[in-house]
Amino acid sequence: MEKTFRIVVLISGRGSNLEALLQAIEQVSPPWGQVAAVVSDKRHALGLEHARKRDIETLVVPRRAKERSNQEFQRQLAQEVERFQPDLIVLAGFMRILTAEFVSRFPGRIINIHPSLLPNFRGLHAQQQALDAGAAESGCTVHYVVPEVDAGPIIGQRSVPVLPEDTEDTLSARILKEEHQLLPRVVKEIALGNIRLEGSQVVRRNTGEELSVVTAT
Ligand code: GRF
């Protein structure tokens, strides 16, 4: 029997992308993957509930800034994540920048979802950055993680219009809807072996499906 594709999701908060991923997996029988664990750096992350109610293992690895360095925290985080033998680590609203050491322990196996059309508006408050720049369009990106923040090879993007009356909240909500479509789709393609990273290149298998462009319809 083929081995189940194992996913570990890292979160810090609400976890709506995690929920979208879990629902997408549940829709298909037999499932194309399994969320083996959800790991949070925040004890009270609301998203942990999405895992608990499905009996998916959850784990909190707090930073405890006063007691240890970021390196030490991330070493423990990597050890804990490794225990679940992930084929893929998904950063879904995980609010910490992974160290180069962490990233190098899971080569080509970490992806992140970011609420802008990268390479535009990297870092925090990407939606507000888009508003401040007067962008006519924004969206979301799923990319492989490299040590430099929001800079890794892009796998897929979906775009939305920025409207004149938009606030950070309204634009964020519009983008979030697209995130919930994009993230599960990308994870599924990776799980099926249709997308992988080779060096710094995203390689896509030609399945006859339109995999090279993942844009909003
Ligand atoms: C999303 O906007 C994601 O792009 C960003 O953080 C937010 C997480 O939302 N990295 P949620 O926790 O998945 O609801």
Give dist(CA 19, CA 5) in Å, integer. Answer: 18
Quote the pLDDT of residue 208. Answer: 53
Whether the CB-CB separation of 103 and 112 falls below 8 Å is answered with no
pLDDT tens readout for residues 30-60:
999 999 999 999 999 999 999 999 999 999 9
- Looking at 67-116, which runs of residues are DSSP E strands? 88-91, 110-114
Name which residue sits closest to atom 14 of ligand 1, judged by CA. Answer: 16
pLDDT tens readout for residues 58-70:
999 999 888 899 9
Query: Which ligand 1 atom lies nearest to the CA of residue 140?
Result: 4
Give dist(CA 111, CA 88) in Å, integer. Answer: 8
Residues 6+ apart with CB under 8 A from 148: none
Q: Is 47 in the pocket of ligand 1 (CB under 6 A)?
A: yes
Q: Is 17 in the pocket of ligand 1 (CB under 6 A)?
A: yes
Give dist(CA 18, CA 11) in Å, integer. Answer: 8
Ligand 1 mutation pick, 90, 96, 157, 179, max ligand atoms within 8 A of CB: 179
